[in-house]
Structure 1
Amino acid sequence: MTAPKPDQANAPSGSTAKIARSAGAVGGAVMCSRVLGLIREQLFAGLFGAGYAYDAFVVAFRIPNLLRDLFGEGALSAAFVTVFSDYDTNRGSQATWALASTVLIFFALLLSVLTLVGIYFAEPIVNLLAPDFASVAGKTLLTVKLTRIMFPFLFFVSLAAVVMGILNTKGRFFIPALASSFFNLGSIVGGVSLALLFPLFAQPAIAGMAWGTLIGGALQLGMQLPTLHKTGFRFSPRLRLKDPGLRRILLLMLPATIGLSATQLNIFINTNFAAGCAEGSVSWLNYAFRLVQLPIGVFGVALSIAVMPVMAKQAAAKRLDQLKQSFISSLILVFSLTIPATLGLILLAEPIIRLIFEHGVFAASDTLMTAQALRYYALGLFAYSAIKIMVPVFYAINTTRYPVIGSFLGVAANLIIINLLIEQFQHRGIALSTSAAMSCNFLFLGWVLIRKLEGLPLVYLARGVGKILLATGVMAGGVWWLRELLQGWLHGSIPLQALAVFLLVATGGLSYGLCLQLLRLPELTLLTGKLAQRFSKAPSSS
Structure 2
Amino acid sequence: MAKSAEQTGTIARSAAVVSFAVLCSRVLGLVREQAFAILFGAGYAFDAFVVAFRIPNLLRDLFGEGALSAAFIAVFAAYNEKGEKQTWKLASNVLVFFGIFLSLLTLVGIFAAEHLVRLLVQEDFAQVPGKVELTARLTAIMFPFLVMVSLAAVVMGVLNTKGRFFVPAMASSFFNLGAILGGVGLALVLPRFGQPAIVGMAIGILIGGILQLVCQIPALRQTGFRFTFHLDLKDPGLRRILWLMVPAVVGLAPLQLNILINTYFASSLAEGTLSWLNYAFRLFWLPVGLFGVALAVATMPVVSRFAAQRDMPRLRETYASSLTMAFCLSIPASVGLVMLAEPIVRVIFQHGRFDALATVKTAEVLALYAVGLFAYAAVKIMVPVFYALDRPRYPVIGSCLTMLVNLLIILATIEYLEHQALALSISGAMTANFLFLSFMLYRTMGGYPVSYLFRGLAKIVLASLLMSGWLMGLRSLLFPGGLAEDRLLLDIAAVAVCIGSSALLYGAALQLLKLPEMNLLVKRLLRRGDPASVA
TM-score for both structures, normalised by structure 2: 0.96
Map of 2:533 onto structure 1: none
- Per-residue CA deviation, residues 438-475 of structure 1 (Å, 9 max, x unaligned), is 11111111110000101311100111111100000001
Q: Which of 469, 494, 514 is the equivalent residue of 1:520?
A: 514
Does residue 122 of structure 2 align to residue 131 of structure 1?
yes
Q: What is residue 76 of structure 2 aligned with on the other side?
A: 84
> Which residue is 1:104 aligned to?
95
1:486 Cα offset (Å): 0.4
2:118 counterpart letter in structure 1: N
Q: Matched residue of 2:352: which SS? A: coil
- What is the CA–CA distance in structure 2 between the aligned matches of 1:261 and 1:223, rounded to whole Å? 29
Match for residue 205 of structure 2 among 204, 213, 219 = 213
1:187 has 2:179 as partner: yes
User: Does structure 2 conserve the Cα–Cα contact (< 8 Å) formed by 1:490 and 1:496?
Assistant: no
**Displacement after TM superposition at 1:264 (Å):** 2.6
Match of 1:510 in 2: 504
Whole-angstrom distance in 2 between the partners of 1:308 and 1:450? 18
What is the 5 A alignment of 1:332-371?
A: 332-371=324-363
For residues 487 and 260 of structure 1, the distance between their equivalents in structure 2, rounded to whole angstroms, comes to 42
Deviates more, 1:252-261 or 1:123-132: 252-261
Q: Which runs of 5+ in 2 are unaligned?
A: 531-535
Cα separation, 1, equivalents of 2:337 and 2:529: 29
Q: Report if the CA contact (8 A) 1:377-1:431 is conserved.
A: yes
- 8 Å contact 1:490–1:500 — kept in the other structure? no
Aligned to 1:449: 441
Partners in 2 of 1:384 and 1:371 — Cα distance? 19
Question: Shift in Å at residue 135 of structure 1?
Answer: 1.1
Identity %: 59
Spell out, residue by residue over 1:15-65, the C-alpha distance to the aligned partner (whole angstroms, 9 max, x if none): 211111000000000000000000111110010000000000000011100
CA–CA distance in 2 between the matches of 1:118 and 1:410? 27
Preserved contact between residue 372 and residue 428 of structure 2 (Cα < 8 Å): yes
In structure 2, C-alpha distance between the alignment counterparts of 1:320 and 1:105, rounded to whole Å: 37
Structure 2 equivalent of residue 3 of structure 1: none
Output the aligned Cα RMSD.
1.4
Instruction: State the 1:315 CA deviation.
Output: 1.9
Q: Number of residues paired by the alignment? A: 527
| Equivalent of residue 66 in structure 2, options 63, 74, 79 | 74
- What is the identity, as a one-letter code, of the residue corresponding to 1:451? R
Q: Which residue of 2 aligns with 1:484?
A: 476
Give the letter for the 1:522 counterpart.
P
Letter in 2 for 1:512: Y
The one-letter code sitting in structure 2 at the alignment partner of 1:517 is Q
3-state secondary structure, aligned to 1:172? coil
Give the alignment partner of residue 463 of structure 1, picking from 455, 458, 470.
Answer: 455
In 2: Cα distance, 1:319 partner to 1:96 partner: 25
CA separation of 1:262 and 1:461: change in aligned 2, threshold 3 A: farther
Deviations 1:478-529 (A, max 9, x none): 0110111001595352221111000000111000000000001111111211
Give the conservation status (yes or no) of the 8 Å contact 1:86–1:316: no
Report Cα offsets for 1:98-125 as digits up to 9, x if no partner.
1111111111111101100111111111
Asked if the contact 2:4/2:314 (under 8 Å) is kept, the reply is: no
- The whole-number CA distance in structure 2 between the counterparts of 1:463 and 1:283 is 40
The residue number in structure 2 matching 1:119 is: 110
The 1:195/1:535 distance shift into structure 2, 3 A limit, reads farther
In structure 1, C-alpha distance between the alignment counterparts of 2:257 and 2:332, rounded to whole Å: 27
Return the letter of the residue paired with 2:468: A
Letter in 1 for 2:308: A
Q: Give the secondary-structure state (helix, strand or coil) at the position aligned to 1:260.
A: helix
| TM superposition score normalised by structure 1 | 0.95
CA distance in 1 between partners of 2:438 and 2:89 (Å): 37
Which residue of the partner structure matches residue 487 of structure 2? 493
- Give the residue type in structure 2 aligned to 1:219: L
Deviates more, 1:485-494 or 1:320-329: 485-494
CA distance in 1 between counterparts of 2:164 and 2:363 reads 37
Q: Distance in 1 between matches of 2:100 and 2:506?
A: 50
Task: Please tell me the residue identity of whatever aligns with 2:66.
Answer: G
The structure 1 segments of at least 4 consecutive aligned residues displaced by more than 4 Å after TM superposition are: none
Report how far residue 262 of structure 1 moved.
4.3
Partner Cα separation in structure 2 for residue 245 and residue 461 of structure 1: 38
Conserved? CA contact 1:349–1:374, under 8 Å: yes
**How much has 1:263 moved relative to structure 2?**
3.5
The 3-state SS of whatever aligns with 2:340 is helix
